[in-house]
Amino acid sequence: MEDRSRFTYRFTTPLSGLAQRFTFLGLLIVAFALMLIAKADVAVMERLRAQVTDSVSPIIDIMSRPISIVNDAIVQINSLATVHERNENLRQDKERLMHWQSVARMLEAENQALRAQLNYIPGPQASYVSARVIADTGGAFVHSVLLNIGYQPGVDKGHAVVTGEGLIGRVESVGGRATRVLLISDLNSRIPVLIEATRTRAILAGNNSNRPRLIHLVPGATVSPGDRIVTSGHGGVFPVGLPVGLVDAVNEGGISVLPFVPRDRLEYVRILDFGLKGIINDDGLDK
């Protein structure tokens, strides 16, 4: 058996070498032949190429289908992973929201119980009228805007004017077809406010810039950049808690406030009527 294996190996080894050489030589001859045909007759070569392409394309299509199926499967798996991740995030968000809903309900119940014990009288509910800003009459000395609404129920001097973000000013004067609003940044604007975190009282004073300032704080009051400023309700002009802005800077020059509503982005506003008359006199100035 061992002698037969050696004989077979000695006989097939030269044959395989000859086959490889003749195969290589045959491929070279075919390549040169194709080059000569391509040089001699371009049309024939184009037809041959088209026929080869037509013959091979179904095979390529069949071979590419598994790859396409695998790619689609990978895309589907990635999509499922993304959906699973989003679902997990939504589930966590739902759990957090349910937790805060429980906390809010407990606080609401506690608040109602405390109000009942204190015989608390809630403030009036506000009605409102929507209007559009038609002109900005501001300049170097005046910060005010005109609204496309005249005198009607719910529009009167001293009413608060807000957007969805916060307070922008108060009604200064009402005409037959237009209403003028004095902005919180105007030099004549003085608004009683609170630093929400510490409940410290102050006055927001306009200075004809985009950064009104806090004045008349109690000595030793702690104010930090980022503190939220809301109306205090003192003076009876504005209700309590209307958002005004955030403390922008605290330095030797004073305490500046960045309003929630930029003056150059005013378009649609609401005039709130809380039924408050306050200390706005007939001349449109604060006493």
Q: How far apart are CA 202 and CA 219, in angstroms?
A: 11
Q: Is residue 35 domain-resident?
A: no
Q: Is residue 149 domain-resident?
A: yes
Please choose, from the candidates 126, 132, 176, 178, the residue with its C-alpha nearest in 3D space to the C-alpha of residue 154: 126
Q: How far is CA 109 from CA 115, 122, 123, 125, 241, in A?
A: 10, 16, 19, 20, 21
CATH code of the domain containing 135: 2.40.10.340
Q: Is residue 26 domain-resident?
A: no
Q: Is residue 211 domain-resident?
A: yes
- Read off the pLDDT of residues 150-178 as tens digits, 9 standing for 90 and up: 888 888 888 999 998 899 999 998 988 89
H or E, element range at 258: strand 254-259
- Read off the pLDDT of residues 121-133 as tens digits, 9 standing for 90 and up: 666 677 889 999 9
Q: Are 189 and 195 in contact (CB under 8 A)?
A: no
Q: Is 89 buried (19+), middle (13-18) or exposed (0-12) by CB count in 10 A?
A: exposed
DSSP state of 148: S
Q: Are 188 and 194 in contact (CB under 8 A)?
A: no
Domain count within the chain: 1
pTM of the model: 0.57
Q: How far is CA 59 from CA 33, 55, 184, in A?
A: 26, 8, 77
Q: Is residue 23 domain-resident?
A: no
Q: Is residue 231 domain-resident?
A: yes
Note down the domain range covering 145.
127-273
Whether the predicted pLDDT of 113 surpasses 90: no
